[in-house]
Structure 1
Amino acid sequence: MSGEHDYFKSDQPMELKGTLFDRYLHEGYAKLAKKEDYEHDFDDVEKFQNRSLRAAEGQLVSPEELSARNLPEYSVDELSSARARLEDAFYAGASLKMPETAARAQVMFDCWMEQQEENIQQHDIDECKNGFMAAMAELESKPKTTQPTGPSYTHSHDHEHTHGPGSCVDHTHEVAQPAVAACPSPAKHASPELAYRGPYIIFFELDRADITSDAQRILDTVVADARDMKPRRVVLTAHTDTSGTRSHNEALSQRRAQAAARVLRAEGVEVSEIRASHYGESRPRINTKDGVRHAGNRRVEIDFEW
Structure 2
Amino acid sequence: MKAKLLAVVSAAAFLSACANMNIPGVRDMADEGSAFDAALHQNYADLAQAEYDEADWADARYFTSRSKMAAAGQDSGPQMIAERTLPEGSMGEIEVARADLLAALDGGGRDKAASPAARAQTSFDCWMQELEENIQQEDIDNCRSAFYQALAIVQAEIDTSPVAKAMPMAMPVPMNVYFGFDKSEIDSKGMSVVDGIAEAYAKYNPAMISLVAYADRAGDAMYNDILAKSRVDAVVSALRAAGVPASKLAISISGEANVPVSTADGVAEQGNRVVTVTFEDGM
TM-score w.r.t. length of structure 2? 0.49
